[in-house]
């Protein structure tokens, strides 16, 4: 299988440039054909909202493929994701709002502007300096567009809750709000757990729900202070739980017990055996 990967810091040569151009033009023409007269009735009915939902699913499938370290699957899922991006650009072009070329041109201009240490004369000493410059440039861009100046406004409201909490906490900390070290984050989490304990024993469900949310936020902060992301942590835990549960089912069947017929005690014993085996 031919690889189009190049050595770092080298531009695409003319042969690959031609190949890339043909591939992108071919894909945009394909989407135009699907949406056009004599095309696909299903594709012709799609809207920004419907494609947007598929876009979210495809993004998660890309993430799954990355976490499985499967290059072939990553390549395929990135293609699916790109298709939906091109599709959304086609819908906008039909409304005479913008086209895919403008999408590419704008992101190129944006990345050049956001990397003055690469394309300009700004000097940075670390990745932290890059992040600080990035945030500063974003604030300047928003000011130029006459948008509100909230440091948190560009965190998408539709992010998964844990990922959204991580981003909000991250932006707030960069602004100096609740900035703390690992020890302080741990102490804060412990205090929240104590408050939750009291709510579990004495408070109505509304209060309990609030305190559980506070505990989750404190754990998100603790994870972030350790350089971790709570969304990734829980995704990994979910995957591990699924793997162990499936092993437990096989363990039960190996003992002549169908999982749906197993007692809680039998399940618990099988679960412990499996966890001992995997460590």
Helices 71-94 and 14-35, axial angle in degrees (round to 10):
60
Tell me the pLDDT tens digit for each residue of 235-268.
889 888 999 999 999 999 999 999 999 999 999 9
> Which pairs count as long-range contacts for 141-148, CB under 8 Å and 24+ apart, including other chains?
141/113
Mean pLDDT check: name the lowest of 25-39, 162-176, 245-259.
162-176
Cβ atoms < 10 Å from Cβ of 274: 19
Tell me the pLDDT tens digit for each residue of 179-238.
778 888 899 899 999 999 888 888 777 888 999 999 999 999 899 888 898 988 888 898
Tell me the pLDDT tens digit for each residue of 46-66.
999 999 888 888 998 998 899
**Whether the Cβ atoms of residue 79 and residue 61 lie closer than 8 Å to each other:** no
Q: In a 10 Å sphere around its CB, with 0-12 CB exposed, 13-18 middle and 19+ buried, how is residue 36 labelled?
A: middle
Give dist(CA 120, CA 113) in Å, integer: 9
Task: Identify the helix (H) or strand (E) that includes residue 223.
Answer: helix 205-225
Give dist(CA 238, CA 61) in Å, integer: 15
4 compared with 78, residue with greater pLDDT: 78
What CATH topology corresponds to 17-129? Helix Hairpins (1.10.287)
**Does residue 154 register a pLDDT over 80?**
no
**Does residue 3 register a pLDDT over 50?**
no
Same fold, 17-129 and 161-228: yes
> Which pairs count as long-range contacts for 210-213, CB under 8 Å and 24+ apart, including other chains?
none
**Does residue 13 register a pLDDT over 80?**
no
Instruction: Identify the band that residue 1 occupies on the pLDDT scale cut at 50, 70 and 90.
Output: very low
Instruction: Identify the band that residue 7 occupies on the pLDDT scale cut at 50, 70 and 90.
Output: very low
Mean local confidence (pLDDT), 115-124: 92
Whole-number pLDDT of residue 10: 58
> pTM value?
0.64
The two tokens of residue 228 are 């971790």
Domain boundaries 161-228, CATH class: mainly alpha
Domain chopping of the chain, boundaries? 17-129, 161-228, 232-278
Give dist(CA 31, CA 38) in Å, integer: 13
Residue-averaged pLDDT of the chain = 86
E-state strands within 67-186 = none
Whole-number pLDDT of residue 109: 95
The two tokens of residue 136 are 């500063």
The two tokens of residue 57 are 């699913």
């Amino acid at each position: 299988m031919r690889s189009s990967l190049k050595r770092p810091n080298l531009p695409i040569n003319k042969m690959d440039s031609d190949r890339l151009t043909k591939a992108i033009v071919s894909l945009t023409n394909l989407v135009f054909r699907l949406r056009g007269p004599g095309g696909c009735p299903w594709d012709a009915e799609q809207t920004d909202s419907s494609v947007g939902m598929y876009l979210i699913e495809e993004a998660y499938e890309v993430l799954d493929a990355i976490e499985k370290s499967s290059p072939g699957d990553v390549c395929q899922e990135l293609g699916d994701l790109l298709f939906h991006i091109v599709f959304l650009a086609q819908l906008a072009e039909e409304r005479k709002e913008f086209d895919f070329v403008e999408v590419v041109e704008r992101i190129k201009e944006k990345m050049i502007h956001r990397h003055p240490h690469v394309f300009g004369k700004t000097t940075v000493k670390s990745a932290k300096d890059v992040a600080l410059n990035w945030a500063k440039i974003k604030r300047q861009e928003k000011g130029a567009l006459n948008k509100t100046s909230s440091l948190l406004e560009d965190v998408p409201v539709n992010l998964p809750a844990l990922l959204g909490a991580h981003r909000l906490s991250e932006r707030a900390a960069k602004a100096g709000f609740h900035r703390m070290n690992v020890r302080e984050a741990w102490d804060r989490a412990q205090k929240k757990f104590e408050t939750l304990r009291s709510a579990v024993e004495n408070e109505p469900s509304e209060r309990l729900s609030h305190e559980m949310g506070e505990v989750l936020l404190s754990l998100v902060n603790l994870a972030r202070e350790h350089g971790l992301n709570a969304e990734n942590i829980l995704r990994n835990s979910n995957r591990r739980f699924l793997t162990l549960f499936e092993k437990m089912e096989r363990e039960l069947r190996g003992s002549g017990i169908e999982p749906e017929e197993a007692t809680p005690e039998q399940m618990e014993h099988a679960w412990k055996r499996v966890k001992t085996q995997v460590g």
